[in-house]
Structure 1
Amino acid sequence: MSNISLIRRGAAVAAALLSASLVLTACGDSGDSGDKAADSGSDKAAGTRSVKAENGTVEIPVDPRRVVTIGNTNLPFIDLGGKPVGVTEASESELDVLPKEQRSAYEAAEVVGSNGGEVDLEKLAALKPDLILVQFHSSDWDKVGKQLETVAPTVYWGLDTEWKDFADAIAEAGNVTDALGRQKAEFKAKVTKIQKTYGKTIEGTSFVDVSRGDWSDPGTFYIADIGCSEIARDDIGLDLPEAAEGKDPLAYESLPFEQIGELSEYDVITYPIGADGRPTKPFEPVIGTNTWKSLPAVTSGRALGVFCPGNNSYGPVIQYLDSLDSALATLPAKQ
């Protein structure tokens, strides 16, 4: 699974398009320290170690102190306890759902450019980073990667990196593996709890996850089969629809409101809510339709709002699992 949140898909697509014109003008203190990667291949005496990424094997500091995060690496690094000295812009909607201390860590960093837009090389170099973490579109790396590497050791990942692999890689490169270990343990415990608590309810029950983004055309919605719903399907075991192998995700297809009635074939519907428990603003037009209000799942209390702040690192995924746990608790157990 890629680490691009379904809720943020529209922003991610836009970023990929905008970043095609990436311009580099002119020319972190990391969080918890942890065990170094086993396959380090490093010269510890020289204070460096080797990590593997999409741009090859990169020699980086054993304990990086001044980390700059670019693109989608911003929030995953901070989620692991990292404190970058430089970041690229994150949207207000992304920042709004961050825990207070994480938002403070982001706001304490110098903004060196827009996410997928512009990076100011002079500003970046002035920060004297000892490590740059990057994730954006591969075409942009082809254009600017070498320039970033002239500033500091740069580790790059493409947009299709699976989120768990991405968390592992960020933690290794940024030397925040202690936090990763704790998050993994919490994630595993929550998955196990949900499976044990709601196993009988889930078994034989058909689910569908529907959503709308602020990028969606008026009068349309989509069936979500990537992002947090993928976690519900693959990790928890919910029976959720997904695209056929080799086909584009169902989430990429906009469906007209006229097809809302087709959701009646599913036992349970999940839809997006914010941290306040209310339907997200983009989804409000869906629940305002008479067709939605008359769906069997809606009239029987089996339409469940679930909060998904993101799916590109363990912290937001754990928040999603907590919300899913609470939502499933409202379903009657099967006799």
Structure 2
Amino acid sequence: MRSRPFTRPFLSVLAGATVLALTLTGCGGDDAEAGGDDSAGEVRVFSADNGEVEIPADPQRIVATGYAVPSLIEAGAELVGISSWERGTNLMSEEDLATYESLTKVAGETADSTNYEAIAEAEPDLIIIGVPAPALVDIDLERLESIAPVAAIGPTQPSGWRDLSRRHLDAAGELGAWEEARDAYEARAAELSEKYADLLESASFGHLGAYGDTSAGSFMREYAGSWGPNIAEDIGASYPGEVAKKTGGAGDVSEYPSIEELPESFGDVDVITYSLEDDGKPSAAVKYVLDSPLWKSLPAVKADRAIGVRFTEASTYGTALRTLDELDSVLAPLLAG
């Protein structure tokens, strides 16, 4: 089973490795205390997974990791070092990709790859570390705190990227950029909601995720709030149902039934969406399902109402705009049908 950068850290039943997955961030403007944004040297108190942290009111040299990387790059924050974010480079604009490639990498994709010496050499005034709270054991916080203030906050469910990106940019003093990106996304979502209202109001959806375990003969079934559905939900798609047993985090909105359960899982939905890689190809786990005779027998598949969707793992409003464009492209043929 291919490791997923978001779910692995906080869904221990799926994997044990810790991924440097989500960013840390401050608690948001309404939770922060004191400190004018326009005065150098002033600080404010920020509520994070590692406690109440004093951070600069207007940070000028930021080190960011995990999901903070794309959101802070998009906002033009004052970055001096980042973790690698190879899983998301295909979603970046040319300008953002150039920025990403130019920045010093102070960590790889996992928490245990953190390069403390490189962080110290970057001389940050704020370190935004993005791992779930349980994974903080893989970070030497005391060592980082000896370099600069550290804020950490972890993920909840996949759809939580909206608030997490807000908190990333709030901590970095870039909340205005978040609001601008949110407004652009919501305007586009409203446009598509109107365009596809007749289809979306009358159809029920189910989503096949990219991370089933072919060796175990399982597939990934995603429900409302998970990676595949959550952006489509913003334009009015309905993904009914729920997991058989909630296990926390992504395990509350996705599960891994055996392939024999395909008819039971997807037999009563009108439209099936399934995750594609950014290049438009299915992952091995998805192809395993698409090649199954059970898949071909599903009513939605027989009716040509099973559609692949790229960019389902967008984690910022900027990248989620690409997901909306993708949904527009793949839903359009259903209007004609």
What TM-score, normalized to structure 1? 0.80
> Residue in 2 aligned with 1:212?
210
What TM-score, normalized to structure 2? 0.80
SS of the residue corresponding to residue 266 of structure 1 reads coil
> Please, which of 249, 252, 255 is the counterpart of residue 253 of structure 1?
255
String of CA shifts for 1:152-189, please: whole Å, max 9, x gaps. Answer: 12221122273222111111221223432221111111
Do the aligned partners of residues 83 and 306 (structure 1) sit closer, same or farther apart at CA in structure 2, a change above 3 Å counting?
Answer: farther
Q: CA contact under 8 A between 1:84 and 1:106: conserved in structure 2?
A: no
> Residue in 2 aligned with 1:42?
35
Do the aligned partners of residues 253 and 309 (structure 1) sit closer, same or farther apart at CA in structure 2, a change above 3 Å counting?
Answer: closer
> Residue in 2 aligned with 1:282?
285
Do structure 1's residue 230 and structure 2's residue 225 form an aligned pair? no
Do the aligned partners of residues 305 and 291 (structure 1) sit closer, same or farther apart at CA in structure 2, a change above 3 Å counting?
Answer: same
> Residue in 1 aligned with 2:25?
none
Q: Within 1, Cα distance between the matches of 2:132 and 2:94? A: 29
> Residue in 2 aligned with 1:108?
102
> Residue in 2 aligned with 1:154?
150
Q: Within 1, Cα distance between the matches of 2:276 and 2:245? A: 30
> Residue in 2 aligned with 1:82?
77
- Letter of the 2:123 counterpart: K
Give the drift of 1:245: 10
Count of residue pairs brought into register by the alignment = 313
- Letter of the 2:93 counterpart: P
Q: CA contact under 8 A between 2:130 and 2:152: conserved in structure 1?
A: yes
Q: Within 1, Cα distance between the matches of 2:111 and 2:284? A: 25
Q: CA contact under 8 A between 1:18 and 1:117: conserved in structure 2?
A: no
Give the drift of 1:128: 0.5
Do the aligned partners of residues 242 and 110 (structure 1) sit closer, same or farther apart at CA in structure 2, a change above 3 Å counting?
Answer: farther
Give the drift of 1:273: 1.8
Give the drift of 1:46: 4.7
5+ residue gaps, structure 2: 21-27
Give the drift of 1:251: 5.3
Give the drift of 1:190: 1.6
> Please, which of 116, 120, 139 is the counterpart of residue 121 of structure 1?
116
Taking the TM superposition and a 5 Å limit, the aligned residue runs for 1:1-335 are 8-9=5-6, 11-12=8-9, 17-19=16-18, 37=29, 41-42=34-35, 45-54=39-48, 55-82=50-77, 84-90=79-85, 92-114=86-108, 115-141=110-136, 144-160=140-156, 162-213=160-211, 217-225=215-223, 226-233=226-233, 235-243=234-242, 247-248=246-247, 249=251, 252-262=254-264, 263-332=266-335
Q: Within 1, Cα distance between the matches of 2:93 and 2:213? A: 25
Q: Within 2, Cα distance between the matches of 1:106 and 1:158? A: 22
Which stretch shifts more, 129-138 or 43-52? 43-52
Between the two proteins, what is the percent identity of the paired residues? 28
Q: CA contact under 8 A between 1:242 and 1:250: conserved in structure 2?
A: no
Do the aligned partners of residues 81 and 246 (structure 1) sit closer, same or farther apart at CA in structure 2, a change above 3 Å counting?
Answer: farther
Do the aligned partners of residues 76 and 216 (structure 1) sit closer, same or farther apart at CA in structure 2, a change above 3 Å counting?
Answer: farther
Give the drift of 1:269: 0.3
